Every structure is written in C-alpha cells, then in structure tokens.
Structure 1
Amino acid sequence: MESIINIFRTSLTVFGQQPLMWKLLATVGAIWTGNILANIGTFTWLHFLRRSSLARYKSKSSWALITGSSDGIGKAFAHELCHRGFNVVLHGRNEKKLENVRAEILNEHPAQEVRILLLDVAESAGDHARLDEAVDQLEDIDLKVLINNVGGVAKRLWIPLQDYSDDDARLFLDMNCRFQTELTRRLLPRFINGPSLIMNIGSFVSELPAPYISVFGGAKAFGKAWSRSLHFEMLAEGHDVEVLQVQVGMVSTPNEPRPESLFVPNALRMAQSSLDKVGCGRSVVFGYWPHQLHCSLLIDLPGLLRDRLLMRIVKGLKEQEERDLKS
C-alpha cells in the first residue's frame, strides 16, 4: 500500500514539473479517455449486463396493446409479450391477417388471451369519434403496456419532396405522428394510475438526416422529441409511467426481406432486444446494440465526410428502389 502511495506522489511531482502546455494536453487526454471508457461501460451495461424490468408491469391479467401488429416488428412484439406472460391486443386494419396472427399466437401460448382491435390509421388518425370508440373497446381490460409501433412508408421511401402527393404526405404524418399522439392521449388517464409502460418505436433516420426522406425523417424526429418530452412530463407529474423511445435501424421482415446479418436482425430478435431495455432509466435508447454502434460510427465521422457518404449511400438506395419498382 505504501509503495502505491509513493508511486502516486511521484507521478504528481513529475506532472507538476511539466510545462503548462503539456499539462493541458495531458488533462484533455485524460478527460477524453475517461469519457470514452465511460461510454463503453454504459454501452456494455445497457446491452449485455442489465436485466429488463418488464415484469413490474405484469400480473395475471395484464394486457399489452401493440399497434400495427398484423406483421413485421409489431407481430414479433405480440409473440414475445405473450411469451413473457402478457395478454395482447393486436391492432391493424386487415381482419384476416390479424385473425391469422391471433391463431398463431394462441397455438404457441394457449394460456394467454388475444384480442383484435380493427382500426385503419389512414382513416382514423383525425377521426375523434372513431378513436374514442376504439379506446372504449379496451375499458374492461387491465391495460399496462402500449407499444406504439404503427408507422412506415408508402410504396416508395426515397422521394423528393416535390414528388409527394397530397395523400402520401398526409398518410406519412398520420401514421408516424398523429395516430400515436391521439391514441396515447386517450389512454394516458388509465396509465397514470401506474405502473405502466409506453414504448414508442422510432428510427435512426431521426439521428442522421438524409436526402429524399424529408417527410419520413421529419416525422420520426417528431416522434423522438414527443417521446422524450412525455417521458419527462411523467417524471415531473410524479406518475409511474415509463415512456421509452426505441430507435431502430434496418430489420429483416416479410415486407422488407433483407438478408439477415449482425446489423440486420430479424423482427423477433429486434422485439426481444427492445423489451430487454425496459427500465433502463433513459428516454431514448437503441433497441439493438449493432444499430447503436452503426449509428454512432456514422455520427462520429467528420461532418463533411459523413454527409458525402450518406448522400452516396442514399442515392444508391434510391436507384435500387427505382429499378425494383420497374421490374
């Protein structure tokens, strides 16, 4: 112990004898290194060490509502929530698809209950009476979890702003902004009795602006800001309601069958990883660790290099999309 103290004293003496410039550089280096180590530690804790707190919202009769759950990530959330002991309400506009998902889930989890909530986002986002009627259908259940998953794009993703039709622009905003706001506003009086969870599924396009997605990217940026504000509002009001925005990158789904890889998980892996982040204490989090790594690497690039790289990537994706539509 005494030898360690002597080494420490010697280090301080040597440091004190250095020129001011070297002291400043050493201090900056120590702070930078400490920050990097802290970020690595936080990343490791969040994605690999901590356990989900989802169980605190579960009882024998707890229900979860997943919007946009007829396929893709929403369907995967429904499967995983039932696997973790929740009853689920499947939301969508296609009754046949929802019935198929319901039968599939009940076959795997016969002890759980599954309901269907038919509601077309395109028609109901601004229809207050229809939204009220839909929420009234949930009055008799103990709803503890809301997964605001519905969203997405039209047939094309990479669209110059002037090429949007009136209907496409409205649908983008209704699907990605208005619907989740209006639905959450109506359910919040029930949730504030707590404990409850509101998970909003976002996209890392809100972190990295790119050409040809001004409407979609802007809508996702709204979702992120709205979610963060609601998170702090619940804290300020003393309500036991966790609001968590989950940022998502590329995922392989039946609608978008990308080849699976480390950076492109399937929908179930995405849902599992996202639910594992519940209770982490943050307002915004990446649900899947390679997505965070990918996004962080791009963000940390020098601005000019990053912007040129994104422009190049997106132009290639836009050209590929145009070729696919023609074929």
Structure 2
Amino acid sequence: MDLSTVTIIGWMYIIFTIYRLMLTVYNLVYPFFLAEPCDLHKLAGAKWAVITGATDGIGKGYAFELARKGFSILLVSRTQSRLDDVKAQIEKETFSEVILSSSKMVAINEINFQYFEKRASQVERHLCRAITDDENVKCVRTIAFDFSSADIDYYEKSLLSQIRTLDIGILVNNVGSTFEYPDMYHKVDGGIKLFKHISVINIIPVTLLMAAVLPQMYERNSGIIVNVASSSAYYKLRWFSVYAASKKYVCWLTKIVQEEYAKTNIIIQEVNPMIVVTKLAKVKKPSFFRPKADVYARSAVRTIGVIKHTTGYFAHQIKVECLKWLPQFIANAEIHKRMMLFHKVMVARKMRQAAIAAAADADIDAKNTCKQQYQ
C-alpha cells in the first residue's frame, strides 16, 4: 500500500469521524434547544389525537400534552375505570379555559364547573360535535380495548371501526408490555404465554393502527404518527430477548414507512425512550436520567416534526450518543452488566415479597387454628 492510498484512507476516516461528531451534536442540541416547536395543528391537519396505552406513564403524558395544545383526545386502553379517571383529569385541567357561548366555544380563564354539571348532556353534545372553526373546541373520548388479543374481527368491531369515523390528526402508538425482570430465554417467568403476550401487544397494535389511519392522512396529505419503541431496540439486549426484538420491529417498520411516505407531508416519528418513571419500568424515583412521564412527554412532543428518530429526552440522548461511540462489544458488555444487576435486584425483591406473603398466610393459619381449638 503506497503513501497516497494511506493518505486517502486517513482523510476518509477523519471526514467520517467529523461527520459522526457533527451528527452527535445535532441529535443532542438541535431538537431540544435550538429547534422551534412545530405547529402541530398544521402538521396534523385534523383535530383528533389517538393515544394507546393512555392510562399511565408515557401514553398518559402524551394525552395531557396534546390536550393542552388543543386536540380532541381519544384514549385507548384496557380498563374502563382507569380510562374514566384519566378522562376526568384531562377535562378538569384542559377544559378549565373553555365555556359554551350561544354560537360556539370561546376561551376564558375561569369556569364554573357546576354550570357544566347541570348541563352535562348539552355540553357533551357541543364538545363532541364535528370540529368547528374555533381552535379551542375539544373533547375526550375513551375506548376500552384489550391489546393482548390478536383477533382481527375484535380489532375491527371494537376499535378500528370507531377510529375511522373520526378525523385523526395524530396517532401515538404507545401501548407495550415487557418482562417482570430480565432473565435467560428458557428461564423467563411466564414462558411461552408471556412471549406471546409481549409479541402481540408490542407488534400488532402499531401495525394495524397505522394501516387504519394512513388512508385518511394520505388523502388530505397531512397527519402525524408517533411510534414509541424503546432504546433497547438499539442493542442486542440479552435477557430482554423478546421485548427488545419486538421493539426492534417497531423501529424497523417505522423507518420503512417513513421512506414509503417521504414525498408526502405526513410526519412519522420513531421515539426510543430509555428508563422513565412508569409502572412498566418499575421505577418510582425520578432523576436526571430517569424523568417523570409528564416531563418526558413534554420534551418528546416538542420534537414532533423536528426530528424523525430520537429518544425524546435530552438526558436519554446523551446516553445513547455516548454508547454509539463505544465499540459494539464494549457497549453490549456494559449493558449486559446492568441487566444482570437489574436481574439480581428484581429476583431478590420477588423472593422478599414471597416470604412476606408466606409469613402472612402462616399467621392467618395460626389464628384460624387457635380459634378452632377454643371452639
């Protein structure tokens, strides 16, 4: 190899390294600090936002954030009672600036909620009417749906048919499921049933719901789809096998559909969060790298229309960008070490809970025995 060839290779390596560095800085700085938030109403082209897995965590955060921005919200989750609770919370917070006038809804700063309670049917009729010219007109609807079912007839009857009747501007595919704790493939608590459960919930909804809303978005040449995957999709996450693989499917599908609709004005975004304080993540205490769900959602919504692929949160992006610079085998080893630690912590917690439950049962049995002896 002569000197000129070595020089060319050296310059190519330098240029590639500079490009990677610039891309890292861009991913870290531009979406979270420099970019102006987009006009979501203009990008969406319609007033309804559908959020799956909307009763907790990131999905609930998206629902509140989009409601604050004036969208009508369709909450989709399994339990009706929890849907009703979130619906009431959103209405209390986001409808506090709306009052019904003789002709339409107008914004104000305070409202007497007793007025609405006395005229509930009238208010609901006006709120859920087809969108008027007033940008502040919005409402919240709910659909109780079990995403653990893969039955297409159930989907069509209970969910898709209702979604098609609305003008959907935004779809947030957030619903998901994971392991209770990481473990080797053949040792995973729940086994085959859990693998099927996770695969169905993490793969089927995002596939079918995009298929349901894209026809109307394509026809009007506007709309927003946000597919919430996971940063676990970036790596071969040992001990989280099926979960990480299912999230990789979401990422890959999103990238393909982005290319298919690249010549349209439809925004399709892939969001890969790291750990957020949610029930799914089994984390209760927030920190710089582990934000509350509402804080995370506020940050993630700000990136819609700004960037196609993101973690949605600055601190998460720092971790991901740092890991990208590490050799793959080092990154995988570091991640696996953390998975093993998580495994030990969760197994110890489960054993402790089992011991407490066993002690409680033994105490109850002892009391029952004493009662029988005295009788």
TM score, norm. by length of structure 1: 0.85
Map 1:77-226 onto structure 2 (within 5 A): 77-110=62-95, 111=98, 112-123=138-149, 126-133=150-157, 134-154=159-179, 156-164=180-188, 165-193=191-219, 194-226=221-253
Does the CA contact (< 8 Å) of 2:236 and 2:244 recur in 1? Answer: yes
Q: For the residues of structure 2 that align with 1:176 and 1:261, how far apart are their CA atoms?
A: 27
Does the CA contact (< 8 Å) of 1:251 and 1:270 recur in 2? Answer: yes
Instruction: Choose the corresponding residue for 2:31, options 46, 53, 58.
Output: 46
- C-alpha deviation, 1:241, in angstroms: 1.8
1:276 aligns with 2:261: no
Give the letter aligned to residue 57 of structure 2.
G
1:231 aligns with 2:258: yes
Q: For the residues of structure 1 that align with 2:6 and 2:245, how far apart are their CA atoms?
A: 45
Distance 1:151 1:127, change over 3 A: same
- C-alpha deviation, 1:163, in angstroms: 3.0
Aligned residues: 302
- C-alpha deviation, 1:52, in angstroms: 2.5
Deviates more, 1:129-138 or 1:82-91: 129-138
Indicate the residue corresponding to 1:10 in structure 2.
Answer: none
Q: What are the superposed Cα offsets for residues 227-275 of structure 1, whole Å, 9 maximum, x if unpaired?
A: 100111112xx43321111010000125533321111111011111111
DSSP 3-state at the match of 1:291: helix
Give the letter aligned to residue 45 of structure 1.
Y
Q: For the residues of structure 2 that align with 1:68 and 1:178, how far apart are their CA atoms?
A: 14
RMSD of Structure 2 on Structure 1 (CA): 2.3
Map 1:2-13 onto structure 2 (within 5 A): none
Indicate the residue corresponding to 1:301 in structure 2.
Answer: 326
Higher relative contact order (CA closer than 8 Å, sequence separation 6+): 2
Q: Which structure: larger Rg?
A: 2
Deviates more, 1:32-41 or 1:295-304: 32-41
- C-alpha deviation, 1:209, in angstroms: 1.7
Does the CA contact (< 8 Å) of 1:65 and 1:91 recur in 2? Answer: yes
- C-alpha deviation, 1:143, in angstroms: 1.2
DSSP 3-state at the match of 1:192: helix
TM score, norm. by length of structure 2: 0.74
Q: For the residues of structure 1 that align with 2:326 and 2:290, how far apart are their CA atoms?
A: 21
Instruction: Choose the corresponding residue for 2:310, options 266, 285, 288.
Output: 285
Q: For the residues of structure 2 that align with 1:221 and 1:35, how far apart are their CA atoms?
A: 22
1:252 aligns with 2:252: no
Q: For the residues of structure 2 that align with 1:46 and 1:296, how far apart are their CA atoms?
A: 14
Q: For the residues of structure 2 that align with 1:47 and 1:275, how far apart are their CA atoms?
A: 11
Q: What are the superposed Cα offsets for residues 165-206 of structure 1, whole Å, 9 maximum, x if unpaired?
A: 221111110111112112221222222123111100011111
DSSP 3-state at the match of 2:283: coil
Indicate the residue corresponding to 1:11 in structure 2.
Answer: none
- C-alpha deviation, 1:141, in angstroms: 2.4
Contiguous gaps of at least 5 residues in structure 1? 1-18
DSSP 3-state at the match of 2:92: helix
Q: For the residues of structure 2 that align with 1:62 and 1:288, how far apart are their CA atoms?
A: 26
Does the CA contact (< 8 Å) of 2:73 and 2:139 recur in 1? Answer: yes
Indicate the residue corresponding to 1:8 in structure 2.
Answer: none
DSSP 3-state at the match of 1:137: helix
- C-alpha deviation, 1:157, in angstroms: 3.1
DSSP 3-state at the match of 2:171: strand
Identity of aligned residues (%): 22
DSSP 3-state at the match of 2:193: helix
